[in-house]
Structure 1
Amino acid sequence: MIRVLVVEDDPLLAAGHAEVVAGVPGFSVVAAVHSGREALAAVGAAGADAPVDLVLLDMTLPDVGGLQVLRALRAAAVPADVIAVTAARDPAVVRQSLSMGVVQYLLKPFTAAALADRLRAYARFRADVAAAAGERGIDQHAIDEALAQLRTSAAPGRGVAAPTLQAVVTALREAPAAVGLSAAEVAGATGLSRVSARRYLEHLSAAGRVRREPRYGGSGRPELAYLPTPTL
């Protein structure tokens, strides 16, 4: 699960953001707080055993600004990623936010669907990076593919080619339903790269057509298997 801290000074908006986060598969809400000091305290309280992975950060807070929160997080070497969810349109704020590692910048007002799309894009980015990691690290092509998840529209189906999607679906249907396939196995069956296979599998997962389960075995870490649902 991707653990999310919601930072929003308006309690109603904070509750709405938290509801959206909880409704996207693979995400959970650590807390919803309403000030910069509460945000920093919540990150510290989360600890190393269950750290905050992602912060939804309003840039205009009642005590300290979002930029100050960002600086404090970076100064403390907190590895959490940040998506700005804000009405701040000042180019200087946008530029400084991006320079400090904000991965998405979502301007208010926005719909729940728009926020959910950004979250799914972020999940695809994380999955692509994890899938591409090998003994020698990650190569340039895989980095470019992962970053493309953040830089393009996250509208459902964007960047998904119908023939390729059908090839992935066929591979899943031909596999034992109780076992499913990993991204590496789908790549082998379709000729896709492992990163691309993972992207298509995550697309199917977001649509509820497959479910994800850890597969244990061997001496390495468990891999993620994708199992068909009745809607596949």
Structure 2
Amino acid sequence: MGIDIVIIEDDPMVLELHRQYIGQVKGFRLIGQAANAADGYTIITKFKPQLVILDVYMPGESGIDLLRRVRAEGINIDVILVTAAHRSETIQQGMQCGVVDYIIKPFTFQRFKKALRSYQQYIERIRNSQQLCQKDIDCLKGTALGESNPSSLDDLKDNIPKGLDKATLESVLKTINMQPGYFTASEISKLVGISRVTVRRYLNFLYDNGWLKGILSYGPVGRPLHKYIKDDPFSI
């Protein structure tokens, strides 16, 4: 049985990314989309999806306000918040409303996929467990909210995924550490001497684990440009 999903997102480019990414993850069925909270509420009450991908900042009613409204009316849905907001207050508000995950823009496919896969595992555990002990509940909580990221650079280097190289990661980290501000994959590629596609894989890995922040820079034409910056100063 697939998981019915609805997207509520006012940015057409981000909305299209959601659509493409959901289409690449088996087990999910997109049944509706909306560009504002009012239309989102109508879709939620009409189709009653199991999962909603919800943006925070939209014209009119915010995503947090919509979530509070849905919770107050007892509508039983799970929510993944996707937003450019980095404020701890906003994140806390989302957690207080019971979101299962929180993704910061700009996000990668791997991070988006991780959120959906973690949710699938969470639902499967719920469906297959009639009675839960403390250990089961602890596992469910960890699955719903995602696993913790490596807390140190040494941990990060020791937990690189298959296909990435520790020595190359160290070279990328050293180069990043010398950048005074925002940088792109192309810029790091030229400095390290490896392809932009390869560099982007390492940058996405660092971003997904919380060591980089990112923004989308919109130009007059073409796709938005991903720019990164160190989350906090770190030494290699």
TM-score w.r.t. structure 1 length?
0.61
- Secondary structure class of the residue paired with 1:6: strand
Over the matched positions of the two proteins, sequence identity in percent amounts to 27
Q: Work out the CA distance in 2 between the residues paired with 1:15 and 1:113.
A: 16
Q: What is aligned with 2:221?
A: none
Q: CA deviation at 1:150?
A: 2.7
Say whether 1:146 aligns with 2:143: no
3-state SS in 2 of match to 1:30: strand
User: What is the aligned partner in structure 1 of residue 103 from structure 2?
Assistant: 106
> 8 Å contact 1:129–1:142 — kept in the other structure?
no
Equivalent residues of 2:115, 2:146 under 8 A apart: no
Backbone CA RMSD of aligned residues: 2.1
Q: Is the 8 A contact 2:55 2:81 kept in 1?
A: yes
Cα drift, residue 153 of structure 1: 3.6
Specify whether residues 83 and 29 from structure 1 end up closer, same or farther in structure 2 by C-alpha distance, changes over 3 A only. Answer: same
Which residue of the partner structure matches residue 38 of structure 1?
A: 39
How far is the alpha carbon of 1:154 from its aligned partner? 9.1
- Measure, in 1, the Cα distance between the counterparts of 2:50 and 2:105: 23
The answer on whether the counterparts of 1:2 and 1:53 sit within 8 Å (CA) in structure 2 is yes
Please say if residues 117 and 154 of structure 1, whose CA atoms lie closer than 8 Å, have aligned partners that are also in contact. Answer: no
Unaligned runs of 5+ in 1: 159-232
Residue identity matched to 1:147: K
CA shift at 1:151, angstroms? 3.5
Counterpart Cα distance in 2 of 1:157 and 1:138: 32
Distance 1:80 1:150 in 2: 14
Find the partner of 1:121 among 118, 134, 143.
118
In structure 2, do the counterparts of structure 1 residues 15 and 38 end up closer, same or farther at CA, with 3 Å as the change threshold? same
Aligned to 2:226: none
Q: Which letter does structure 2 place at the counterpart of 1:83?
A: I
Q: Does 1:130 align with 2:127?
A: yes
TM-superposed deviation, 1:71: 0.8
Q: Return the offset for 1:152.
A: 3.6
Q: CA deviation at 1:63?
A: 1.5
**Distance across 2 between alignment mates of 1:97 and 1:138:** 26
3-state SS of 1:43 partner: helix
Q: In the alignment, which residue of structure 2 is the partner of 1:226?
A: none
- Which of 45, 68, 79 is 2:65 aligned to? 68
Partners of 1:55 and 1:157 lie apart in 2 by 29
The answer on whether the counterparts of 1:120 and 1:154 sit within 8 Å (CA) in structure 2 is: no
Which residue in the other structure is 1:22 paired with?
23
The one-character-per-residue Cα deviations of 1:146-195 (angstroms, maximum 9, x if unpaired) are 2221344499989xxxxxxxxxxxxxxxxxxxxxxxxxxxxxxxxxxxxx
Distance 1:154 1:132, change over 3 A: farther
CA distance in 1, matches of 2:120, 2:18: 16
Q: Give distance in 1, aligned partners of 2:23 and 2:77.
A: 18
Partner of 1:81: 78
Q: Residues of 2 paired with 1:151 and 1:41: CA distance?
A: 27
Other structure's SS at 2:79 match: strand
Q: Which residue of 1 aligns with 2:3?
A: 2
Shift in Å at residue 31 of structure 1?
1.1
- Once residues 116 and 147 of structure 2 are traced to their aligned partners in structure 1, the CA distance between those partners, rounded to angstroms, is 12
Aligned partner of 1:53: which letter? Answer: Q
CA contact (8 A) 2:33 2:43 kept: no
The answer to whether the Cα contact below 8 Å between 1:57 and 1:83 also exists between their aligned partners in 2 is yes
SS in 1 for 2:128: helix
Partner of 2:153: none
